[in-house]
Chain A
Amino acid sequence: MSVLADDLIDLAATRKSRGYWGNVGRRLLRDPVSMICAAILLLIALAAVFAPYLGLADPYLGSMIRRLRPIGTAGYPLGTDELGRDMLTRLVHGGRLSLLIGLLPVVFAFFIGTTLGIIAGYLGGVVNQLIMRTVDVFYAFPSVLLAIAISGALGGGLLNSLLSLTIVFIPPIVRVAESVTTGVRSLDFVDAARASGAGALTIMRVHILGNVLGPIFVYATSLISVCMILAAGLSFLGLGTKPPEPEWGLMLNTLRTAIYVNPWVAALPGVMIFTVSICFNLLSDGMRSAMDVRN
């Protein structure tokens, strides 16, 4: 059974296949913007993780006579805050909580939302209505308001703000997961899998999950920046982290009073939030185009 037309492709086929994710990684590596953003995020994350071992000053140790020193002061490269604590130390240590509170809710919401969305999209009918209409209820509230309301009802604290942010991000992820799943479900390979006698759970696991994870993942990445800003907002309102913990949102809040005295220092936590969120946004954009097979 010699196949003339196909033989030409066979010749090209002798190289080892890289697989889908291998190709995505290769395309991402070729994108300079994504790589710069990834490097910045990696640097900030590593600095935050290893903050106690970097030989920085004590983030809680203040000095009443060295309050609000400007950027570039000897011994305080990024100045001091309103209690005379070293800003560089607090920004590096602040990254620990800020990144945690920005990432964890999105990670939890990603798992819960993807599961619910795939179930709703694949099973359709009554199950779909039940899940999607419940999600719609949460959509009735603006996300900031919802986060504040849940946090307020549960009381302040880190755990409660994580919980409230998770609840805020589940509905949009369910929405995206459901619509992507509905699209994939109508493709012939799902019908072929059904025709081979596979159950709903097996089909969702083997055939749906791998094909919907990409778009949902990209969307969830873009939520990290929103989550960081919301978390900063909660801390700013006193619902998240409590002083004297270093956290970017909280630092922005406490330095607010110093905005006329030393605006550059007061803006630093905001610069960190901005940098991290824009890096996550650009990285998710890069991933979106890297995952587009048509490129």
Chain B
Amino acid sequence: MSEIDALKPAADIGGPCQPLLTVEGLSKHFALNASLFGKASVVRAVDDVSFSVAKGEVLGIVGESGCGKSTTARLIIGLMPSDAGKILFDGEPVGPVLSLSELRQRVQMVFQDSYASLNPRLTIEDTIAFGPKVHGVAPPQARARAHDLLRKVGLDPALFADRYPHELSGGQRQRINIARALALAPRLVILDEAVSALDKSVEAQVLNLLIDLKEEFGLTYLFISHDLNVVRFISDRVIVMYLGEIVESGPVEALWTDARHPYTRALLAAMPSLDPDNRTQEAPISGDPPNPIDPPPGCRFHTRCAHAEAICSARAPRLMATGGERHLAACFMVDPGSGHSKAVAPKVKETVNG
């Protein structure tokens, strides 16, 4: 594999215990100046979000549309500047130590719209070889790498290298997008609704491909989706976002069996069941999320929460340990000292996954 020598995955720095990606207090506020004299209103798309991704892990991010999932992804890869917060990649802060262009070799992204994320005027080969060429790989080597990656994502280079995006199916295009993301030998791949637009059989194939590639290249995934089944299938750990904030996070099984935040429970209850005896008769949460320009005071979910009490609109709950391993929730009901009538003490030594 001498032709790929020019682009190797960045060397590991902190060892297996150091998170590959750490996000601290990440915020993005979009200013909307409605009129010349009116007060500029602000959309808090991402508000003080902190989390970390362990090496080799698949971290899922779920939430309704508009909750800030995609904005978080774009902030991490530097497609838009953040207003506040720090991003550390393998312990190195992005900006002072790790430059944006170095980060962009280590982190790559696969977008939802498989058609819009491919240049309609470039052949598949040129699309995949573009990144390596930008990073100084000679064109013949970049082409060889493109062919190699096409094989890796299950497409025959002889058939596909010279073709254009509009000649391919959605599943094939998304395989191209995955190959393009892998072309720079990244360590972290952000999959922003990467399989959401595919039909179910193709979605399953692409998910299996992602799992195979993760094993082969030792990748870490940040998997953003609104499809809870898919997230459960592929993720090790899940973050639930609501209106720009993290409301709950934890290992996927703990979240599914013992969700502590009412919003997470509502999301899980909203999943359609395949069992005809287990029909959902009514929507567990009604209405749309509140306007993010003017989010409700206190807990942002209290306007739709069945358990809301006075305290919920007075103060904002913080992410707290729930007792389960690495399981956090931002709800007064897990905080015994909060004064919420349904607050319970965290269960000590719960055997999750047991």
Contacts and interface: CB of A to CB of B under 8 A. Distances in A.
Interface residues of A, number: 31
Interface in A221-280: none
A198 B135 CA distance: 8
B292 interface: no
B171 A206 contact: no
Interface stretch (A7-15, A60-68, A108-116, A166-174): A7-15
Given A3-B154, A210-B121, A196 B164 contact: no
- Determine chain A's interface SS by DSSP, over half rule: helix
A193 B130 contact: yes
B164 A19 contact: yes
Interface in B134-166: 134-135, 154, 156, 159-160, 162-164, 166
Interface residues of B, number: 50
Contact of A17 (B119, B167, B201, B208): B167
Nearest to B102: A197
A207 to B, nearest CB: 5
Interface in B38-94: 74, 77-79
19 contacts: A1-B205, A1-B212, A3-B171, A6-B169, A13-B159, A17-B164, A19-B164, A188-B117, A191-B79, A191-B109, A191-B117, A192-B180, A195-B77, A196-B104, A196-B130, A196-B131, A197-B134, A293-B120, A293-B166
B131 A197 contact: yes
A110 to B, nearest CB: 19
A187 interface: yes
A9 B162 contact: no
- Among all A-B residue pairs, the 4 with the closest Cβ atoms: A196-B131, A188-B117, A1-B154, A210-B121
A140 B341 CA distance: 69
Nearest to A21: B121
Nearest to B135: A197
Given A196-B134, A207-B122, 13 more contacts: A5-B171, A5-B201, A6-B171, A17-B163, A17-B167, A19-B164, A20-B164, A192-B180, A195-B79, A196-B130, A196-B180, A198-B130, A206-B122
